[in-house]
Amino acid sequence: MTLLHLSGIRKSFGAVDVLHGVDLDVAAGEVIGLVGDNGAGKSTLMKTITGIYSADAGAIELDGRSILHLDPGERRRIGIEMIYQDLSLAKQQDVASNIFLGREPVKKMFGFIPGMVDKARMDREAAEMIERLGAHLPSINRPVSSFSGGQQQTVAIARALTFDPKLVIMDEPTAALAVREVQSVLDLIRRLKSEGIAVILISHRLNDVLAVTDRIVVLRHGRAEADLRTADTNMNEVVARIVGGGDTASAAAHELGGHR
């Protein structure tokens, strides 16, 4: 069943056309890899899905409902989450404070008057969310700045899950991570899939994309160049679609694959 449906999405900035009629379908619980060279339109497409940018033309539907008229906050409330490459964490705050940032539960005074932040509840529910992900953190009471890159990704994913998302968009989640941490993040993506949450994974690390996705969509010059079943493709074909084929594709395969 289609969860997200994009049809004919176009976006320009002044005289510069960035997206040229992009079509994309994502099913519930499906992991889609979105790949392409810098400037292919990946970030613009994702920001159009989340509502940061307004599409100039085309349709965007979630669960069969048009969401073009919804602002980013409304799209988040109905189930679209995006985790940016910089994670947007409050690095000096602890795990629970990051997960509940801006939505802290409060204790009730006299049964009905809002009082102080309920830190005990925050810590308890944060620990439950980390456990739900099957992840391990040194402590939920330490500032996230003391965590590794992979552990910070865990916190960002846990925060996204508190909004009960139907779709999570992840921007370069394995960039600059060590091998063990890459595997941990890929396992977290698999966990989201197992819970029926769809994932769009934007990455230049094609080894990671091939390892965890169901389909790979290649953007090239603002167009969907290819929509490939991961099980039926390979590194060379994906690279050829990204760079346009020829000898350049063979030379670029190792570079785009990343080092494992």
Are the C-beta atoms of 190 and 157 separated by less than 8 Å?
no
* pLDDT tens track for 171-213: 999 998 988 899 999 999 999 999 999 999 999 999 999 999 9
Q: What are the structural domains of the chain?
A: 1-79+165-246 (3.40.50.300), 87-163 (no CATH)
- Say if residue 253's pLDDT is above 80: no
At 43 the pLDDT is: 94
SS3 assignment, position 26: strand
Distance CA 189, CA 129 (A): 15
* pLDDT tens track for 81-112: 999 988 889 999 999 999 998 888 788 665 55
Q: Please state, rounded to an integer, the average pLDDT across all residues of the chain.
A: 91
Residues 6+ apart with CB under 8 A from 84: 171
Tokens of 154: 């865990």
Residue whose C-alpha is closest to residue 210's, from 244, 245, 186: 186
- pTM of the predicted model, to two decimals? 0.88
